[in-house]
């Protein structure tokens, strides 16, 4: 059984067939989904889904691309929602220097505020890092993020960056890009991360794995990420599914599953 640790089933790309996508995920062996709501529009749907399905959990926070829109009231809103029994983490937060839709200093400030909130709430942090590896590490260090740890989502950094994140109690999560033939770096990093810190995710509807690259991603495709990770480590699909599920349950504090 699989856990998709990072999905956006709240995205509008699923408005037409959300329930079918969730049913297909179950058919593909996904027993638990963690959905990420990351701004004013996506957070409410994220909570609704977590209330509708017992196997769906929620993470709430503010995406760096939307950093410019986050007010103090939004931060209080996130704090309030974090008390919801199905909310299991804070994020996704971080820095995005690729799209650069919010000024860097604003992104950094919003990132710091959310790390402080996660520490106050003692909840794991979900990191979005696009072309900002060293700045992310520096801020995590300065803000003492190791106190709560969390997840480097859809990790795209080097082994050195991974090591620094691991030292701060972070798990390293891989998504669709791991399955791409030319994905040399992630395939190398997967081998460097201790087995008890590996996670799998889709980030659906984005980052669709091979063989569906170019189409809309969905949670059921997390199996292709698990397959690739198992192949790289020379172990069975079932073994890798169990390892990554156990890790996901640990980092999010989810109840153990009966096997």
Interaction site with Ni ion (CB under 5 A)? 203
Nearer to Ni ion, 201 or 230 (CB): 201
Nearer to Ni ion, 94 or 149 (CB): 94
Q: How far is the CB of 6 from Ni ion (least distance, A)?
A: 6
Q: How far is the CB of 91 from Ni ion (least distance, A)?
A: 9
Q: Tell me how far apart the terminal alpha carbons of the chain are, to the nearest angstrom.
A: 9
Nearer to Ni ion, 130 or 233 (CB): 130
Please name which of 130, 249, 171, 154 lies closest in space to residue 209, comparing C-alpha atoms: 154
Torsion angle defined by CA atoms of residues 32, 208, 135 and 170, in that order, rounded to the nearest 10 degrees: 30
Token pair belonging to 203: 């980030």
Torsion angle defined by CA atoms of residues 84, 87, 89 and 95, in that order, rounded to the nearest 10 degrees: -100
Nearer to Ni ion, 35 or 179 (CB): 35
Gyration radius of the chain's alpha carbons: 17
Contact between 194 and 172 (Cβ < 8 Å): no
Nearer to Ni ion, 129 or 203 (CB): 203
Nearer to Ni ion, 66 or 203 (CB): 203
How far is the C-alpha of 222 from the C-alpha of 230, rounded, in Å? 12
Residue nearest to Ni ion (CB): 203
Q: How far is the CB of 206 from Ni ion (least distance, A)?
A: 7
Q: How far is the CB of 256 from Ni ion (least distance, A)?
A: 26
Q: How far is the CB of 258 from Ni ion (least distance, A)?
A: 30
Please name which of 28, 78, 72, 21 lies closest in space to residue 200, comparing C-alpha atoms: 28
SS (H, E, C) 79-110: HHHCCCCCEEEEEEEEEECCCCCCCHHHHHHH
For the purposes of burial, counting CB atoms within 10 Å of the CB of 211, is it exposed (0-12), middle (13-18) or buried (19 or more)?
A: exposed
Q: How far is the CB of 83 from Ni ion (least distance, A)?
A: 23
Nearer to Ni ion, 143 or 203 (CB): 203
Q: How far is the CB of 203 from Ni ion (least distance, A)?
A: 5
């Amino acid at each position: 059984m699989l856990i998709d640790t990072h999905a956006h089933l709240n995205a509008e790309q699923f408005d037409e067939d959300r329930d079918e996508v969730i049913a297909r995920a179950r058919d593909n062996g996904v027993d638990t989904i963690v959905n990420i709501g990351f701004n004013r529009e996506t957070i409410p749907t994220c909570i609704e889904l977590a209330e509708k399905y017992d196997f769906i959990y929620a993470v709430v926070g503010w995406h760096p691309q939307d950093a410019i829109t986050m007010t103090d009231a939004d931060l209080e809103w996130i704090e309030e929602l974090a008390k919801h029994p199905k909310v299991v983490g804070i994020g996704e937060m971080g820095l995005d220097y690729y799209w650069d839709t919010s000024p860097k200093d604003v992104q950094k400030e919003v990132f710091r505020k959310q790390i402080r909130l996660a520490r106050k709430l003692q909840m794991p942090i979900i990191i979005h890092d696009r072309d900002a590896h060293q700045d992310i590490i520096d801020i995590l260090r300065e803000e003492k993020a190791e106190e709560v740890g969390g997840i480097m989502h859809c990790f795209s950094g080097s082994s050195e960056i991974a090591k620094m994140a691991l030292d701060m109690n972070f798990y390293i999560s891989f998504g669709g890009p791991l399955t791409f033939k030319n994905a040399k770096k992630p395939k190398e990093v997967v081998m460097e991360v201790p087995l008890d810190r590996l996670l799998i995710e889709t980030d659906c509807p984005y980052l669709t794995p091979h063989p569906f690259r170019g189409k809309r991603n969905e949670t059921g495709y997390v199996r292709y990420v698990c397959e690739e990770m198992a192949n790289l480590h020379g172990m069975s699909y079932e073994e890798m599914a169990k390892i990554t599920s156990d890790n996901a349950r640990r980092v999010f504090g989810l109840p153990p599953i009966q096997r």
